[in-house]
């Protein structure tokens, strides 16, 4: 890397006139897409576009007008919430995958509420402005606790597993004529990782503000299962992970009910997930420095190594759906330099705010793995990742059964070969026996079930074990429990 490319890291920032806060909010509220999509998930996605600017601009310029306009915008959004039959509020509208019914959803609520919480955390930590904004901050926190976390838990969408926890879509929707619940169990599906992480981030921010352990535990379980699904590419010392994977029996029949891979066309999902991972790391949750280093290696591997015209392929290298993961700029000088260069080429208020934030905040700190929200050593749970260059996913569903009940095994495989499924004791050292071996079709998968019965005559299986999937040079060990 030429020295001149990193020289900006040592130049004092130059501040220029900032965009007008009121004009910025006016533009957001008059976004034409909000008129086309005035309700539901689509409204939330469009309303969230640019929402981070209010707090980011305050941090960049220390001008409280940005917070004032943020409150106006947040309160305007809250005025758009509707009450569902169970009394909980949300941004209700046509269901994204069946416009004949209405619903709110985890991600729609979350992409807005998480920014309310960012506002709350910033103003409650700053004594110079706390008195002015504290009441509003407390209001947003209570909204998040009751009408987001409590709501989706009470609706029965939270499920726990041996490796963590996750959310599924609801099976209840609102009839557009009667405004009463209608139930569709067939619509249940595990949320993709980007949506799981939105909930995790809301819970994490509530925890950082309130110190209530319930929310920390929830965030930790969500991030833990996410990390447990990472694929480790040993030869390149990097991670790859999918957009979605099955967690539950309703997620999989003879094959998974949704595709399992890196998103082939939208780089924004992993882009957002990187910011979530970085915030979890800064908060002392789940991710270690080695994890961040491997993720950095992935983004550098994706890059064409052209500083002036950077192009990124996808994390698995199969498509051109890649981008700069700027959530990593705290940790790596090359990615930090690429981000600054990218912002200098962009136009518009959001880019200007981001660039000024980078100059006035990010670049005031050297590149390091110092955590922002915790001090000293942190205790990270042991969450193993496995060499899975040839295995796209490997799961046992459900991961906890009673003897005689059936557990489904799924493994996605690259190429043709023999998939072997073996049972080990809980330590992963003692082999108890082979459950099955199966030859897969090219770039296919294996889906079989097992009833948890003995592999050795007169041996009764009870307790926790590890199921090992092996294919070519790849393997993964999944914890299971037989009662």
What are the tens digits of pLDDT across the range 345-367? 999 999 999 999 999 999 999 99
| Strand ranges for 23-97 from DSSP E | 82-83, 89-90, 93-95
Q: For residue 381, which of 239, 228, 247 has the smallest C-alpha distance?
A: 228
- Alpha carbons 340 and 102: distance in angstroms, whole number: 42
Distance, C-alpha 291 to centroid of its chain: 15
Asked if residue 307 lies in contact with residue 6, where contact means CB atoms within 8 angstroms, the answer is no
The predicted pLDDT at position 15 comes to 40
Q: Which CATH architecture has domain 388-482?
A: Sandwich (2.60)
The predicted pLDDT at position 12 comes to 33
The predicted pLDDT at position 440 comes to 86
Where do the structural domains in the chain lie, given as residue ranges?
3-364, 388-482
Widest Cα–Cα separation across the chain: 79
The CATH code for residues 3-364 is 1.50.10
- Cα Rg of the chain, angstroms: 24
The predicted pLDDT at position 13 comes to 36
- Alpha carbons 380 and 339: distance in angstroms, whole number: 29
The predicted pLDDT at position 17 comes to 62
Tens digits of residue pLDDT in 400-430: 999 889 999 999 999 999 999 999 999 999 9
User: Averaged in consecutive runs of 10 residues, what is the pLDDT profile of the chain (483 residues)?
Assistant: 34 55 97 97 97 98 98 98 98 96 98 98 97 98 98 98 98 97 96 98 98 98 98 98 97 94 97 98 98 98 97 97 98 98 95 97 97 93 97 97 92 94 96 92 84 78 96 97 95
**Exposure string (b/e) for 404-427, b if CB count within 10 Å is 16 or more?**
eeebbbbbbbbeebebbbbbbeee
The predicted pLDDT at position 108 comes to 98
The predicted pLDDT at position 3 comes to 33
- Alpha carbons 409 and 451: distance in angstroms, whole number: 11
- Alpha carbons 201 and 286: distance in angstroms, whole number: 13
Asked if residue 109 lies in contact with residue 91, where contact means CB atoms within 8 angstroms, the answer is yes
- With 0-12 CB in 10 A as exposed, 13-18 as middle and 19+ as buried, what is 30? exposed
Asked if residue 464 lies in contact with residue 401, where contact means CB atoms within 8 angstroms, the answer is no
């Amino acid at each position: 890397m030429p020295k001149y490319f990193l020289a900006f890291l040592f130049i004092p920032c130059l501040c220029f006139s900032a965009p007008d806060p009121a004009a910025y909010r006016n533009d957001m509220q008059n976004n034409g897409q909000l008129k086309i999509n005035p309700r539901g998930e689509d409204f939330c996605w469009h309303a969230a576009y640019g929402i981070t600017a209010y707090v980011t601009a305050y941090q960049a310029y220390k001008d409280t007008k940005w917070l004032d306009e943020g409150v106006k915008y947040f309160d305007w959004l809250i005025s758009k919430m509707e009450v569902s039959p169970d009394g909980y509020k949300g941004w209700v509208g046509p269901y994204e995958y069946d416009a004949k019914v209405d619903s709110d959803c985890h991600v729609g609520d979350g992409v807005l509420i998480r920014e309310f919480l960012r506002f709350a955390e910033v103003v409650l930590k700053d004594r110079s402005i706390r008195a002015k904004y504290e009441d509003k901050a407390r209001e947003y926190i209570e909204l998040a606790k009751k009408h987001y976390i409590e709501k989706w838990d009470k609706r029965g969408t939270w499920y726990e597993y041996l490796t963590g926890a996750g959310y599924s879509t609801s099976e209840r929707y609102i009839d557009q004529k009667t405004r009463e619940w209608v139930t569709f169990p067939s619509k249940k599906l595990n949320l993709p990782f980007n949506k799981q992480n939105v909930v995790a981030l809301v819970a994490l921010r509530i925890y950082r503000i309130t110190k209530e352990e319930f929310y920390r535990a929830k965030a930790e379980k969500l991030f833990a299962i996410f990390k447990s699904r990472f694929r480790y590419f040993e030869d390149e010392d990097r991670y790859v992970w999918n957009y979605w994977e099955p967690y539950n029996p309703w997620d999989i029949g003879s094959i998974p009910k949704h595709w399992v891979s890196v998103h082939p066309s939208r780089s924004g999902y992993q882009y957002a997930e990187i910011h979530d991972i970085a915030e979890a790391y800064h908060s002392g949750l789940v991710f270690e420095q080695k994890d961040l280093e491997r993720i950095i290696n992935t983004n550098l591997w994706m890059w064409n190594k052209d500083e002036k015209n950077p192009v990124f392929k996808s994390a698995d290298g199969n498509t051109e759906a890649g981008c700069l993961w700027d959530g990593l700029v705290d940790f790596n000088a090359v990615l930090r330099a690429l981000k600054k260069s990218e912002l200098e080429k962009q136009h518009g208020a959001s880019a200007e705010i981001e660039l000024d934030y980078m100059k006035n905040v990010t670049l005031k700190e050297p590149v390091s793995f110092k955590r922002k929200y915790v001090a000293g050593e942190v205790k990270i749970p042991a969450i193993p990742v496995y060499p899975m260059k040839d295995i796209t996913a490997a799961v046992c569903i459900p991961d906890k059964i009673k003897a005689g009940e059936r557990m489904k095994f799924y493994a996605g495989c690259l190429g043709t070969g023999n998939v072997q499924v073996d049972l080990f004791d809980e330590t992963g050292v003692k082999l108890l026996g082979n459950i099955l071996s199966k030859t897969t079709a090219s770039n296919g998968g294996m889906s079989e079930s097992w009833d948890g019965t003995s592999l050795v005559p007169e041996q009764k299986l009870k307790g926790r074990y590890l199921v090992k999937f092996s294919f070519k040079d790849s393997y993964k060990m999944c914890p299971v429990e037989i009662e």
